[in-house]
Structure 1
Amino acid sequence: MARIHFISGLPRSGSTLLAALLRQNPRFHAGMSGPLAGMVGALLAEMSGRNEFSLFIDDAQRQRVVRGLFDNYYADCGAEVIVDTSRAWCARIGAMAQLFPDAKVIACVRHVPWIIDSIERVIQRNAFSPSSIFNYSPGGTVYTRANGVAGTDGLLGYAYDALKGAFYSEHADRLLLVQYETLTTDPARALKAIYEFLGEPAFAHDTDHVDYDATEFDQRAGTPGLHTVRPRVAAIERNTILPPDLFRRFENDAFWRDPKLNPRGVRIV
């Protein structure tokens, strides 16, 4: 089977852009967040003690079943390197380390208030299309939406907690944090660090002609444009649409920016 690695981290932080860039390399397969992490969770739940027949399933069998899921899901993929994307992989970094001893996790991160801002922009842009992010509810305010995504089970809150768990875990050496700010202002440096981290030969990416289309998925989710990737990688300067007090609430949440909070020396680019 191909070598397996993962893209994880925070939402609205460049994971789809990164996948669109990596797939330019004919040796790589990458895409937006997919179903595999959820399927792994469903399998583990069905093989747990809640199943009356779990007495007949040991850990070795569980690992083989989950590994078989990867093998079969990507059976038709001819790439040498597969990079699967899900915010859940940070939460499962220990399990993936057992399944794939050489696997690495690229975690995309971004200054947190700008993540909230980006989500709110998508919602306001699609005012007549309720989003799956909020269970298709058309109500709420910018404050209730921010509280919802930042909550423990929210789009951002879950991913943030999973990232922190991986960052401080014994598997932190498998983790590379790619800041959205670096990816959009200096993509060559970000990609160089990624290839070195994965132990793969460098590839000349075209950051002026990037292509990725998830139109059908986004429309079905009630969030047209959610995974839109601009054809040219560039940082876009803009003012926030968040109220000042709401923006300030999340300003100090980028723990990875403080070297004193990085005791395991996680690589950050």
Structure 2
Amino acid sequence: MRRFHFISGLPRSGSTLLAALLRQNPRFHAGMSGPVAGLLGSLLGEMSGRNEFSVFIDDAQRQRVLRGVIENYYADTPAEVVFDTSRAWCARMAVLKTLYPEAKVVACVRHMPWIIDSIERLIRRNALQPSSIFNYTPGGTVYSRADGVAGGEGMVGYAYNALKEAFFGEDSANLMLLQYETLSSDPGQALAAVYEFIGETPIRHDFTHIDYDATAFDRKAGTPGLHTVRPEVGAIERETILPPDVFRRFENDAFWRDPALNKRRVRIV
């Protein structure tokens, strides 16, 4: 039977790179963020009390419907192991545990100022194309853009809050945090940890010839390069383009770096 696992975590933190590496395994399927988590969220709402016909739906039926969405979405995928990617999965840990008790969630994380820096670089690189990240609105400043993505419903803020919910929640035994800094500097160690976490036999991966193309999607989103994966894994040292006060604003947000906060002993690689 096909097994499901999930990739989640923070944006600009290596989830697409992780998917590109995992799909080198012929038994695996993985890709960039897709529609499955959104479909589940919509169905949960439609099967709730706001629908007058919800009296005809019990929890067993809800489970079958939700599993049916995931399994039918991937019905044409021949892979034995499927990784679905969405930042929303960290906010759906209880749902995933109910549907697939053995499923694991790998959450990609990164030092927060560099996430903001990475988004700002994308925006400046595509100065003539307003981005879907900001509802295609031109203008603004680095300060307003940082405020926008860091807000509770923003690209970074929502994912960050969902990550904290998963990390500190009672279902964290199925969660592993994979740091971008580890994935980019030591991909062998990172993938070995992922294989061990999901209980699969590792294969040899090629870290110098990585193939992943989401050019059409990124162009439509007005953000070329959003899911670009370099052909070779490697850490790149650079200076930040953020003003010092913006960088400092996010410098202490990496809660996973404080062992005292990891009371549930979530694995961090």
TM-score (norm 2): 0.99
- Do structure 1's residue 20 and structure 2's residue 17 form an aligned pair? no
Tell me the equivalent position of 1:237.
237
Find the residue that maps to 1:92 and give its secondary structure.
helix
Shift of 1:49: 1.4
Paired with 1:77 and 1:208, the residues of 2 have a C-alpha distance of: 26
Shift of 1:258: 0.6
Paired with 1:70 and 1:10, the residues of 2 have a C-alpha distance of: 22
- Do structure 1's residue 149 and structure 2's residue 149 form an aligned pair? yes
Tell me the equivalent position of 2:173.
173
Tell me the equivalent position of 1:222.
222
Tell me the equivalent position of 2:47.
47
- Do structure 1's residue 97 and structure 2's residue 97 form an aligned pair? yes
Deviation string for 1:186-232 (max 9, x for gaps)? 00000000000000001100000001000000000000011000000
Find the residue that maps to 1:53 and give its secondary structure.
helix
Structure 1 stretches of 4+ moved >4 Å: none
List aligned pairs for 1:73-222, cutoff 5 A.
Answer: 73-222=73-222
List aligned pairs for 1:58-73, cutoff 5 A.
Answer: 58-73=58-73
- Do structure 1's residue 33 and structure 2's residue 33 form an aligned pair? yes
Deviation string for 1:132-176 (max 9, x for gaps)? 100110021000000000000000000000000000111111111
Find the residue that maps to 1:6 and give its secondary structure.
strand
TM-score (norm 1): 0.99
Deviation string for 1:32-88 (max 9, x for gaps)? 000000000111111111111111111111111001111210111110100000000
Q: How many residues align?
A: 269
| Stretches of structure 1 lacking an aligned partner (at least 5 in a row) | none
Tell me the equivalent position of 2:4.
4
Paired with 2:108 and 2:89, the residues of 1 have a C-alpha distance of: 12
Find the residue that maps to 1:82 and give its secondary structure.
strand
Letter in 2 for 1:158: Y
- Cα RMSD of the aligned pairs, angstroms, is 0.6
Paired with 1:196 and 1:91, the residues of 2 have a C-alpha distance of: 24
Paired with 1:18 and 1:61, the residues of 2 have a C-alpha distance of: 34
Q: Name whichever of 16-25 and 38-47 sits farther off.
A: 38-47
Paired with 2:82 and 2:247, the residues of 1 have a C-alpha distance of: 37
